[in-house]
Amino acid sequence: RVIARVGKRKGKKAKSFKPNSVDYDQRILSVNIEAETVSLSTVDGRVKIPMHIGEYQRQLLRTAKSIQGGVLVRKKGSWHIYLWCEHDDPPVINPNGFLGVDLGIVNIATDSDGEVYSGKHLNSVRHRYRRLRQKLQKKGTQSAKRLLKKISGKEHRFASHVNHRVSKCIVAKAQRTGRGIALEDLRGIRERVRLRKPQRATLHSWAFHDLAQKIRYKAERAGVPLVFVDPRNTSRECPACGHTERANRPTQALFRCVVCGYSGLADHFAAVNIGRRAAVIQPNAGAWNAAHGYHATCKPRTSVRGR
């Protein structure tokens, strides 16, 4: 299985392999859903391990078409197994319009209906952990290093939890209203944007890709179409008259058109423009997404802890 994992990198020199995880396929792994146990092949024979899962994971396992395998991972002294569950694709709905979603740092997401998912709490948590890491790294003592190891991953897990909640709300709203979802294609934004030094850490900790991926696989599971659009000038274009100018956005939060005077929340107007662009390219959405690298399927994973 190690050879199978490393051998996928054709034309590249294989890197060192750390023995903290192992791949399992259907030949050396089986799952008893009724008894909630996992049977794994080891060098000492088969081992049956009880699963400790919640209702969400239980429902995923019971509705899975098949379980293709998994990855056994060791994290901080405990073992987790990530199972690859295959589900039938639900029928994709014929969207009645698109719910535009503008992703940002101050506001994690803002949709074209005007609903704002604030990032104030998340940004404060990130800032607190950043200051704590700087303080501990400067101190450099053994106790400081132990504390750094203890808090490692907490910020990432919290941000992932927030993105899960936001993505779930967005997909549920689109499914309930019979609309598709439109997002900006933000790839390469970190290289394009120039910021002052104090703002760089905030930009590089912006987990827009993680949120987009969570929206993507949840939308696929719900049969909701997802379209990525060109992000240029979405926050500078007036949704009323169409005038586009940098002066239309005097502040980060405010939009005021210099031609017609139409004003409001800048992120909301950007989300409206994103939804309209998606409606224009919707007949060719599949071809556009494939051409821009958005044709891959994201398979949801079930995390199961074993003892």
Stronger pLDDT, 302 or 209, i.e. the higher one: 209
Check pLDDT > 50 for residue 285: no
Give the mean pLDDT of 4-15.
Answer: 65
Q: Would you call 124 exposed, middle or buried from its count of C-beta atoms within 10 A (0-12, 13-18, 19+)?
A: exposed
Amino acid 169: pLDDT: 94
Mean pLDDT of the chain: 81
Of 192, 208, 212, 190, nearest to 200 by C-alpha is 190
Check pLDDT > 50 for residue 281: yes
Take residue 304 and report the two structure tokens written for it. Answer: 């199961």
User: DSSP string covering the chain, please?
Assistant: -HHHHHTTSTTSPPPP--TTEEEEETTTEEEETTTTEEEEEETTEEEEEEEE--HHHHHHHHH-SEEEEEEEEEETTEEEEEEEEE-PPPPPP--SSEEEEEE-SSEEEEETTS-EEE-HHHHHHHHHHHHHHHHHHHH--HHHHHHHHHHTTHHHHHHHHHHHHHHHHHHHHHHHHT-EEEEE--TTHHHH----HHHHHHHHT--HHHHHHHHHHHHHHHT--EEEE--TTTTTB-TTT--B-GGG-SSSSEEE-TTT--EEEHHHHHHHHHHHHHHHHGGGHHHHHHHTT-------EEEEEE-
Stronger pLDDT, 8 or 152, i.e. the higher one: 152
Take residue 101 and report the two structure tokens written for it. Answer: 């979603």
Check pLDDT > 50 for residue 296: no
198 pLDDT tier (thresholds 50, 70, 90): low
- Residue 259 CB partners (closer than 8 Å, separation 6+): 238, 241, 243
Amino acid 306: pLDDT: 41
Take residue 243 and report the two structure tokens written for it. Answer: 């005038």
Give the mean pLDDT of 121-147.
Answer: 85
Give the mean pLDDT of 186-196.
Answer: 62
107 pLDDT tier (thresholds 50, 70, 90): confident
Give the mean pLDDT of 87-115.
Answer: 87
- Across 177-189, b (16+ Cβ under 10 Å) vs e yields eebbbbbbbebee
Give the mean pLDDT of 48-71.
Answer: 89
Amino acid 253: pLDDT: 86
What distance in Å separates the CA atoms of residue 223 and residue 176, rounded to the nearest whole number?
A: 12
Sheet containing strand 107-111, strands side by side: 116-118, 107-111, 98-103, 180-184, 226-229
Check pLDDT > 60 for residue 269: yes
pTM to 2 decimals?
0.75
Dump pLDDT digits (tens) for 149-186.
Answer: 888 778 888 888 899 999 999 999 999 999 999 998 87
